[in-house]
Structure 1
Amino acid sequence: MGELVDFFVRSRNFILFVLLEVLCFYFIINTSNYWSATYFNTSNRYAAQILALSNAANEYARLRQVNADLALENQLLNTQLAKLLQSKPAAPAEYRADSAFADRFKFTVAKVVDNTTQFANNYITIDKGTDDGIRPGMGVISPTGVVGKVRVCNHHFSVVTSILHSEFLVSSKLPKANEIGSARWDGGDPHLIKLMDISRYKPVSKGDSVVTSEFNSTFPPGILVGRVRTIGVQPNQTFHDITLNLATNFSNLSFVYVVENRLQVEQEQLEKQIENEK
């Protein structure tokens, strides 16, 4: 306390000077319309700038929560879209799916905690496991396209076989040409993937979309795989040599959606039974 008193005593002249300056400034502002308006406009400008900076800082700090909220919203939209597509199949026109088939796909949002793209066989780790209803064999998609398939799970985490894996195949469809093929990564550029088994006599154009086909039990049909980048012809082959730009950018993958096909087990058991009878 004594040191504080000593400080005021030593600095009394400076403190008096500052108080007088403040008093003079106050009188100038209150006795002159020009200086009053100038002070008002200047103070408002700087206050607005400080407020804008504060809001920008708060918005940046909330980006994690904003991303999580958007992921949950996309999860709901994916569920509604899958239900709509399943309840209104393209053909035959008289077919109407029952409620079980229309509701067969369920989506669970998960956060990517690890992701590789530099190997021949790449994997992704997500923060959802068996406690969240995840199990091996479930498909995984991003907000923009196909990601992979769940390989192993524990209670709180799952490892996903990425589409950037030498043995991962995706049954794919060229809607424009109405042709079914298989998409497979060749181990090169993580932004590109090959589309195989498309007849050279089918029309294919640069920019055509390629989506998941109806002939798989892992992904809902119509999920974007990529878009045609280049078209060639394999020597002595009857198929196009097609390269796609992958729909999913694995370099900044943050949130994904695990797809549960509620009828997958039933479908695969029946197909296995038919195979055994052959």
Structure 2
Amino acid sequence: MGELVDFFVRSRNFILFVLLEVLCFYFIINTSNYWSATYFNTSNRYAAKVLAWSNAANEYTRLRQVNADLAMENQRLNTRLTRLLQSKPAAPAEYQADSAFADRFKYTVAKVVDNTTQFANNYITIDKGTDDGIRPGMGVISPTGIVGKVKVCNRHFSVVTSILHSEYLVSSRLTKAGDVGTAKWDGVDPHLIKLNDISLTKTVNKGDSAVTSEYNTTFPPGILVGRVRSVGVQPNKTFHDITLLLSTNFSNLSFVYVVENRLQQEQDQLEKQVETEK
């Protein structure tokens, strides 16, 4: 307390000067319409700027929650869209898928906690595990396209084999040509992937879309893999040399969706039974 009193005693002249300045400023504003209007216009302008900065800062801090909310909404929309497409596939008009088949895909939102793109064999870690119903073999997609397949899990985390893996193959179909091939990363550019086994008899143009085909149990058909970046001819082969620009940007993955095929185990068991009986 004594130090505070000493401070006021030492600074009494400066404090008196500030008080007189404030008092003069007050009288000027209250006795002159011009200066009063100028003061309020100026103060309102700066107050508006401060408020805008404050709102921008608050919105920035809420981006994480906004992204999480959008991911949940995309999960619901993906589920509804897949159910609709599977119940009314591009098939003869008399064909109607049963409800179990149409509703066989389930989506679970997960956040990416680790991700590599610089190796020949890349992996992604997500924050969902067996406690959330995740198990090895499930497909993983992003809001823009395919990502990979779950490799191993523990209770709270899962490691995903990225499509940027030298041994990972994805059955893919060109939407315009209708031909089915295999998408496989060549280990060079994390934005590009090769599409193999597309016959030269099929017309392929730059910009054509490649999506997951119907001949797999991991992903719903129609998930975007990429778009044709370049088309050439493989030497001494009857296939196109096709490079796709991947639809998923692996350098900024944030949220993904783990895809569960509820009928996959039943289908696998039946197909294994046929193989053993051959």
Q: TM-score, structure 2 length as denominator?
A: 0.98
The answer to whether the aligner puts 1:240 opposite 2:240 as a matched pair is: yes
Query: Deviation at 1:153?
Result: 0.5
Structure 1 CA distance for aligned equivalents of residues 237 and 9 of structure 2: 98
Aligned amino acid, residue 123 of structure 2: Y
Distance, in Å, in 2 between the alignment partners of 1:88 and 1:261 is 18
Q: Does residue 182 of structure 1 match 2:187?
A: no
Alignment of 1:176-255 (within 5 A): 176-255=176-255
Name the CA distance, whole Å, in 2 between partners of 1:2 and 1:127: 58
Amino acid at match of 1:203: T
Match of 2:275 in 1: 275
2:154 counterpart residue number: 154
Give distance in 2, aligned partners of 1:126 and 1:67. Answer: 16
1:11-160 alignment runs, 5 A limit: 11-160=11-160
TM-score calculated relative to the size of structure 1: 0.98
1:6-47 Cα offsets, whole Å, 9 max, x none, are: 222222222121111111111111111111111111001111
Cα distance in structure 2, aligned partners of 1:175 and 1:275: 31
The unaligned stretches of length 5 or more in structure 1 are none
Q: Secondary structure at the match of 1:172?
A: strand
What is the aligned partner in structure 1 of residue 163 from structure 2? Answer: 163
CA apart distance, 1:124: 0.8
Find the residue that maps to 1:107 and give its secondary structure: strand
Alignment match, 1:9: 9
* Residue 256 (structure 1) shift: 0.7
For 1:156, the aligned partner's letter is H
Q: Which piece of structure 1 moves more, 73-82 or 267-276? A: 267-276
Stretches of 4+ moved more than 3 A in 1?
A: none
Cα offsets for 1:181-228 (capped at 9, x unmatched): 110011111110000111111111000010001110000010000000
Letter in 2 for 1:28: I
User: Among the aligned pairs, what percent are the same residue?
Assistant: 86
1:50 is paired with a residue whose SS is helix
Shift of 1:148: 0.5
Offset at residue 265 of structure 1 (A): 0.5
Q: Give unmatched runs, 5+ long, in structure 2.
A: none
User: Structure 2: which amino acid aligns with 1:11?
Assistant: S
Report the secondary structure of 2:68's partner residue: helix
Q: Which amino acid aligns with 2:112?
A: V
User: Any idea what the Cα deviations from partners look like across 1:141-167, whole Å, max 9, x if unmatched?
Assistant: 011110000011110111111101111
